[in-house]
Amino acid sequence: MKKMIFATNNKHKLQEVSEMLNGIVQIKSLEESGLSGEIPETADTLEGNALQKAMWVYERSVDCKSNICGCFADDTGLEVEALDGRPGVYSARYAGEHCSFDDNINKMLGEMEGKTNRRACFRTVICLIEDGKPQFFEGRVDGEILTERHGKEGFGYDPIFMPDRFAVSFAEMPLEVKNRISHRGRAIAKLVEYLRMK
């Protein structure tokens, strides 16, 4: 089976994405590919960051002789209406450089205190690079920011995000349900469809 590098070491993302690409391509993490170092993420759009991360990996690793046929990277942002779309592309560093998921949630709950408009969306952009050519796949899920944490599953902002048409947060859902409806799940579904058609 073809192998591709997914530009992440986040084990939650690896699990989500490996399950969805099961039987189509085998996913290798950065660590499994022997790649280390800080990947630059300095663009001011999700598309720009996904391209920057995917290109960084591609330039260092893609060698068709070893059956690695491409690589891809994702970038995700949580866009909150009442915060004029923030934190968006800066979602990982919302509470400051090297902050934890918990720090980000605390900051979000603080900024959203008393706000009646709690509409938000997660958006993921995936950049796939094969033969040096980038292609983009986007996924989005709309929902609301909760007023407190609910659930223990998942990662990041999952405990305070409730997707539309559900009465539970992402952190209260089994992974397969989250994968079906999430921003990343929808972007990966488009990637899967593209890879299947090839």
Choose the catalytic residue: 75, 103, 131, 164.
75
Position 101 contacts ligand IMP (CB under 6 A): yes
Q: Which two tokens stand for residue 65?
A: 């002789």
How many Å apart are CA 29 and CA 11, to the nearest integer?
A: 9
Write down the least CB distance from residue 37 to ligand IMP, Å.
16
Position 169 contacts ligand IMP (CB under 6 A): no
Q: What does DSSP assign to residue 191?
A: H
Q: Give DSSP secondary structure letters for 18-86.
A: HHHTTTT-EEE-TTTTT--SPPP---SSHHHHHHHHHHHHHHHH--GGGTEEEEEEEEEEEEEGGGTT-
Q: Is 75 a catalytic residue?
A: yes
Among the listed residues 79, 108, 139, 158, the single contact to ligand IMP using CB under 6 A: 158
Q: Which two tokens stand for residue 173?
A: 């859902």
Among the listed residues 83, 184, 186, 191, the single contact to ligand IMP using CB under 6 A: 184
Position 170 contacts ligand IMP (CB under 6 A): yes
Kindly list the residues in this chain that would bind ligand IMP in the complex (CB under 6 A).
74-76, 78, 91-92, 101, 104, 154-158, 170, 182, 184
Q: Which residues form the catalytic set?
A: 75
